[in-house]
Structure 1
Amino acid sequence: MTEQASSTVVRKKSELWGWIRFLLVLALVYLIVNNLTGLMRVSGQSMEPTLQHGDILLINKASLFVDKPKYGDVVVVEEESLGYKIVKRVIAVEGDTVAIVDGVTFVNGEQLVELYTYGKSEDMEELTVGAGQLFVVGDNRTLGESLDSRSPSLGPIAIGDVKGYVAASLWPMHGIAKPLDLN
């Protein structure tokens, strides 16, 4: 084999290994992005004014491995009976009591200070959130605008139905409002 032919074989092997490395890195990035993050488009007005119809959201799935959802988190829920995903805000966790009186939400007897909501909710008798469950609602509290835990057809959801946390809106770009910490 001549030196030129040998050089061509080495160059082709190097080029092949370059493509293989590129495809492996691409597959690894895809697996990470697909399993630890995600994208979702908002459909409907149930999270107005925080999120608008058509917003594209960045979803953080990785945090599910280290922490349970807590008060104020905006989560993506996939409830088997729904057949689709919904975006809602956690307002109570297991063991908490929730009631709505004259359109005002109370958790454990304390009024929630919610500057990110819109509309007036219908009243709801006090309910205790069961073990392994969350009470989630849309930021648009107007009657009929949000299918959430206030509805008897959905009620409190299982923590296992949470598929990720909304990290930010990518289009249009903005953060997600959190509740005021008055403690």
Structure 2
Amino acid sequence: MSEFISRSTRHGHSKRGYDETWEWVQALAIAAILALVIRYLVFSPFSVSGPSMLSTLHDGDLVIVNKVIYHFRDPKPGEVVVFHATKNKDYIKRVIALPGQTVSAQNNMVRVNGKSIEEPYIDEGNRTADFEPVTVPKGHVFVMGDNRMNSSDSRSPELGPIPIDSIVGRADLVFWPASDFSFLW
């Protein structure tokens, strides 16, 4: 009888070990699938390239982009967005004006519908060159880099106001390097 119990116990341990291994494999597979879903559908990392968003963002900063927010609401002025500038290149800029609004700059002040806007994210001494009024078309936003003298943005004829449907998402958080960690809203 004791021989029967020891064999049974031995097989019970191997069965339990198999069950535990299978549970770990399932848990890891679910975690990997959730990570992929979150990475490609909800949040995505983006690497800042160039000086156009200084001093808010620096070349090489890594940011988390919220890819779902604009499925529920439209962009708002002041938000930092990532968008498809060309087929192969994404840009990161700040929303300045919305569809139907008229934006211009005079005497280093950006105006929306004729009123100067507050821009606490612009460093003192960072100048905004004058530009003639532009009315933002329906379904578009007007974006500008925070480093106004070194930014290719909606002021350039090549880019102009950007279609809202070309926006990848809102940049929410700088997560790397750790010294630049900050929320962008």
Pairwise TM-score range, normalised by the shorter structure = 0.7 to 0.9
Q: Which amino acid aligns with 2:67?
A: K
Aligned residue for 1:77?
A: 83
Aligned residue for 2:96?
A: 91
Aligned residue for 1:181?
A: none
Deviations 1:37-79 (A, max 9, x none): 1111211110111111121112111212211111111000112
Q: In the alignment, which of 101, 105, 112 is matched to residue 100 of structure 1?
A: 105
Q: How many residues end up aligned between the 2 structures? A: 174
Identity %: 32
Give yes or no for the alignment of 1:174 onto 2:185. no
Shift of residue 167, structure 1, vs aligned partner: 0.7
Scaled by the length of structure 1, the TM-score of the pair is 0.87
Higher helix fraction (1 or 2): 2
Q: In the alignment, which of 4, 7, 22 is matched to residue 28 of structure 2?
A: 22
Q: Which amino acid aligns with 1:152?
A: P
Deviations 1:100-153 (A, max 9, x none): 1233211001011212124222221111100000000000111xx111000011
Give yes or no for the alignment of 1:65 onto 2:95. no
Give yes or no for the alignment of 1:159 onto 2:161. no
Partner Cα separation in structure 2 for residue 169 and residue 10 of structure 1? 45
Q: In the alignment, which of 135, 139, 147 is matched to residue 142 of structure 2?
A: 135
Shift of residue 24, structure 1, vs aligned partner: 1.7
CA-based RMSD: 1.8
Scaled by the length of structure 2, the TM-score of the pair is 0.86
The structure with more radius of gyration: 2
Which aligned segments of 4 or more residues in structure 1 are displaced greater than 6 angstroms?
Answer: none
Cα distance, 1:18–1:115 mapped onto 2, change above 3 Å? closer
Partner Cα separation in structure 2 for residue 85 and residue 69 of structure 1? 17
Give yes or no for the alignment of 1:120 onto 2:138. no
Partner Cα separation in structure 1 for residue 182 and residue 26 of structure 2? 38
Partner Cα separation in structure 2 for residue 47 and residue 68 of structure 1? 22
Partner Cα separation in structure 2 for residue 75 and residue 55 of structure 1? 15
Partner Cα separation in structure 1 for residue 148 and residue 36 of structure 2? 37
